[in-house]
Structures are given as C-alpha cells and as structure tokens.
Structure 1
Amino acid sequence: MDSPPLTLESLGFTAGEHGWSREVAGRPLTFRRLRTRADLEQTERLQREVFGVSERDLASFSILIVIHKTGGDVLGAFSGERLVGYIWGYGGYVNGRPRLVSDMMGVEPAWRGGVGWALKAFQACIALADGFPEAVWTVDPLRAANARLNFARLGAHANEYLEDFYGSDFAEGLYAGLPSDRLVVTWPIASPRVAATLQGLTPPTDRAAILALPDYGPSTAQEVRLAIPSDIDAVLARDPARGRAWRYTIRTALQRAFAAGYTITDFAGSRDEDVGYFKLTK
C-alpha cells in the first residue's frame, strides 16, 4: 500500500513558536513535548480527574521528568495554557528491537472526541523520527471508545491478554474493584498500512460487514465478532455484578481466541447501542 511518508505535516499539524498546532473538532490546540515542572504537574490533575487514581498510583512530576532520558517522551495538548490531554511512553528494546511503550493517555472529559487520536498521531510521528518502528500499550478490553480508537482509527492490533495487570485496587474510583485486565496493543507505526490509515487513505471500517460476522464461540470461521458493552462505566454504575460478569466473560473468550490464533484487527459500534464488536481474524 503506497502512501506519503508519515510526518506531522502530512497529518495536518503546523509548526509554530510554541509547538505544533492543529484544529480538533473545530477547536485550536497546541501540541508539544512536556519538559517543565509546571507542564508535567498538570498531568497529575488529569490523572486524578480521568482515572480517579490514588496518590499511590499517581505518576508524579518526579517520575515523568526522566522519561525523555529513556528515548521516550511526555506529550501534551493545550488549549491556551491549560493542558487538556497528555500521553507518555518509555523508549527501550525488546529482544534487540526498539519500541516505544506508550504507558498512559488521558483527555479531559470536555475535550473528548478527537483529542485522543491527535495525541496518538503526534506520538507516532515523534516516535518514528526518534527511531521507533512500533509502539505498544495496554488497554482495558471492556472500553469500547478505546477499542474504536485503537483498532478502527489507528490501525493497531492485539493478540495478548493480561489478567488483573495492575491489581484490582487500581483506580478504584473508576473501576469499583474490578480486576484490571488488559489487552496488549501493538501499533506498527513504520508500516505503510498504519501511515495510510492515519492519513485517511484507507476505507473506513465496514461496520455492516463486522456486524454481519458470526459470533465467536459458536463459530470458528476465519473472521468472527465478539461483543463488549458500549459503556462499561454505565454498566458498573447501574449493576456492578453485571459489569464483573462482563469482565470474566470477555477474559475467557479472548484468552481462548488468542490461543486459537485470532487477532483483534478492527472494531465496530456506537455509543447509541448496547454493545460494540471486536473483529477477530486468523
């Protein structure tokens, strides 16, 4: 698949005196590396607001200030002087291969709807320029909005499942003690397919085609679908036992699917529906 080189300019960012500017949903934002104590401490506010983390789980300024020394970066999206979104990742090697471990991203609730994509796109271009061909991160498999971003809009994939990765007491204000299961997401940012996806040169997710797939479990076809709740927070608020049941149902299904050779390659769903669907391919 031919596509132009993946650069910030190719994704609509414009270089300026204070960083890179880009409109998101009609609102101007500035994206830049975070290096000062004042900037990095703003991420602490968002960690509490977005994830409800305890002081024990908070990634403080004193931790974040050294990330760029690993080859990674802490990046932010600003409206004026206010930080409305952040993302950070550590640089490193696994089996001699360089990769960025994108550890955490958070967006102020009032700014959701495009800022997450822009932060990931900003991160991808900087990571590529710094010599990283891929990025990896973990994500809760029950979060449909994240699944839509990661698989439908970024072109990432997942075929590894981690049980209770951070412990059941992580972000209790958000998860009410639910086991912190995670998918390991891989994003091959040096691939032509990801470049084309980010640049809008590939067809959008064929929602109807995913909805028409057989359900995983009864079917072992090459392509199947697997339902997750469209809003796990609403489920947990309404019926915590049902939210916990979703956790264990999806844990069992994905562990079996990955062992059978399936990979999550796409996602279809909307906030107006009760469930969304992973597309599993083998």
Structure 2
Amino acid sequence: MHSPANVTQTPRDAAPAAVATAAEDAARAAAGPGVRIDLAGDVPRLERVARFLAEVWRTPESRPPFGVDVLRAIVHAGGAVHCADDGTGLVGASVLTFCAPGSRAVYSMIAAARTRDRGVGFAVKQAQRAWALQQGATSMLWTFDPLVSRNARFNLVKLGATAVAYETDFYGRMDDGIEGDGETDRLTAAWSLAHARTGAAAAGRPLDSPGPDLAAAEIDPRRAPDGEPFVARAADGLWCRVPPDIVALRREDQPLAVRWRAAVREVLDPAFRAGFVATGFSRDGWYRLTRREQA
C-alpha cells in the first residue's frame, strides 16, 4: 500500500507519551457502550468475525467481505483483527494491516459496528489507534464513500481525521447490500494518531464544523440533483453538499443516487487534485475543504 505523500506524520518523540493516553482513550470508549474489545487470532474467533462482517455488509455468509483464510493470513503477517463483544455476541469488528515499510502508517481495511448510535464504532477505532501506536505507527489510512454523510461526519469530526485524496471507482463494481452495483468512488482518510486534534476528539471534544453561511458565501450556479444549493465558496474555503442518506436513496431511487455520484465527483475530484483536503463535515451535509497548507 502506497501512503499518500501528504499524510501528516506525528513527530517520533511524541509517540511514547501518546501510547498510554491512547490506551486510556480506548478503555473509556469501550466502557461507554459496555463492550469488550479483543484481538482475534484463532480460527473460531475469526470465523465469528467473518460471519459478522457478512451480516453487516449484507453478503451471503459463504461470501463475506473477508474470509477466514484472509483474516488468518493478515494476523499471521503482523496485522490486527479486533472484535467487540457486548456479552450477547459481536457488535463490532475491524481489520488492520501495515502500509509500506518506512511510512510508519497502518491501513484499516474494514471497520464495522452493528448499530450506529451506541458508540461501538468509535470504540473500535480507538482500539485500532491504541494498537497502532503500540506498534510504532504514527498514522492510519482508510477509505470511505464520500456520499455516505454519517461516515463522513464520523471520520472527519468525531475521529478528527482528514480526507486527503479522491479516488474514482476505487474498488470497481461491488455487489453487496450497501454499495449496490454503482461505481465505488472513495475518499482516503488520513488519521494522525497522536495529533492534538485526534486526542481532543478521543477525549470527547471534537472540533465541530458548521456549514457555510449561504447568505454571505458565493453560491455556485450548479444545483445538486435535488435542486438545492450544492457548492459554495467563502474566505475560509470551499464547501460541497452530499445527500443525507445515500444508502436509503440507492434502495428507493437508484438513478437519482447515480446522479449524486456524478455531481459530487465533478466537484471533489478536481478540488483534491488542486490541493484541497477535507477537514470538516457539517450536520446538514456540507464538506469543508481547505488548502492543504492551511489544514
């Protein structure tokens, strides 16, 4: 895995102090929803993780996103499979591996929670962060669908990550119950594991991002597929809006969902190529993009 050149790296002398703090953050995050988060390495546990991921991604149990053989190989190679259990069964899981030697980065291949609102997903990410810092990593990368607003807000606000690159049709066509059969554009998230912004978010003090002031901003004449304002420019950066629930929209109106993909790509792809990164996401669905040097 090639690490993007613009990933913020944590100074080497910050890591030792960050390890203990991250472990405390992870324990507190797990206590909130009342889950126990462990590393899975043996085949029976990995089978449970594979079944859980198939359930969350709505794929046949015989065709999970990650099979037991792949999970076993990742662990054997030095990666990590985390699983969260609330006493009734698995409610969260993740898969983590290392990036290129010398990058001091890890790559989160998948992370999932059974429900959105309990804080399990946050706890799983904090467990990943603590483990990665213990292994000497300073940053974590993963990808997410730019149209999924709840994931954008979780990644950029609740975790304090930054989106640093736009990838067109990153995986090719996928056939699962989440993505449908559309193109798989992704944003690359970069999470500086011991950065002050990350630490504040882990402690429950995320830097919220309000949407643009539409009365003062320059509104692009282009309209979103729903006919509403879509792109705004202001002194503090560029803004782009996405639909509130693209997953539901894909079930209800696939042609409209496809139009949203094309419209957002037309704005975000050139913006990232021009040197913007996404540093925030408002509650009403607006990405905040700033110049990389100002992020």
Using the size of structure 1 for normalisation, the TM-score is 0.84
Pairwise CA distance, 1:37:
1.4
| CA RMSD in angstroms, aligned pairs only | 2.4
* Number of the residue aligned with 1:97: 103
How many corresponding residue pairs? 261
* Number of the residue aligned with 1:199: 203
* Number of the residue aligned with 1:5: 18
Match of residue 171, structure 1, among 172, 175, 178 = 175
Is 1:281 matched up with 2:290?
yes
Is 1:124 matched up with 2:129?
yes
Distance change >3 Å, CA 136–CA 264, structure 1 → 2: same
Unaligned runs of 5+ in 2: 1-13, 221-230
Match of residue 224, structure 1, among 232, 238, 251 = 238
Q: Identity across aligned pairs (percent)?
A: 29
**After the TM superposition, which residues 19-34 of structure 1 pair with which residues of structure 2 at under 5 Å, given as runs?**
22-24=30-32, 27-34=33-40
* Number of the residue aligned with 1:250: 264
Distance change >3 Å, CA 203–CA 196, structure 1 → 2: closer
Match of residue 143, structure 1, among 139, 148, 155 = 148
Given that 1:227 and 1:277 are in contact with CA atoms closer than 8 Å, whether structure 2 keeps it comes out as yes
CA distance in 2 between counterparts of 1:85 and 1:203 reads 22
Using the size of structure 2 for normalisation, the TM-score is 0.80
* Number of the residue aligned with 2:7: none
CA distance in 2 between counterparts of 1:29 and 1:203 reads 22
Match of residue 62, structure 1, among 64, 69, 86 = 69
Q: Which amino acid aligns with 1:40?
A: L
CA distance in 2 between counterparts of 1:103 and 1:261 reads 25
Given that 1:51 and 1:171 are in contact with CA atoms closer than 8 Å, whether structure 2 keeps it comes out as no
* Number of the residue aligned with 1:212: 213
More strand by share: 1
Unaligned runs of 5+ in 1: 15-20, 270-274
* Number of the residue aligned with 1:51: 57
Given that 1:32 and 1:76 are in contact with CA atoms closer than 8 Å, whether structure 2 keeps it comes out as yes
Pairwise CA distance, 1:130:
0.7
Secondary structure at 1:113's aligned position in 2? coil
Deviates further, 32-41 or 135-144 = 32-41
CA distance in 1 between counterparts of 2:247 and 2:241 reads 16
Distance change >3 Å, CA 187–CA 203, structure 1 → 2: closer
* Number of the residue aligned with 2:113: 107
Secondary structure at 1:178's aligned position in 2? coil
CA displacement, residues 150-206 of structure 1 (integer Å, 9 cap, x when unaligned): 0001111112111111112x1333222110111111111032331232123x46404
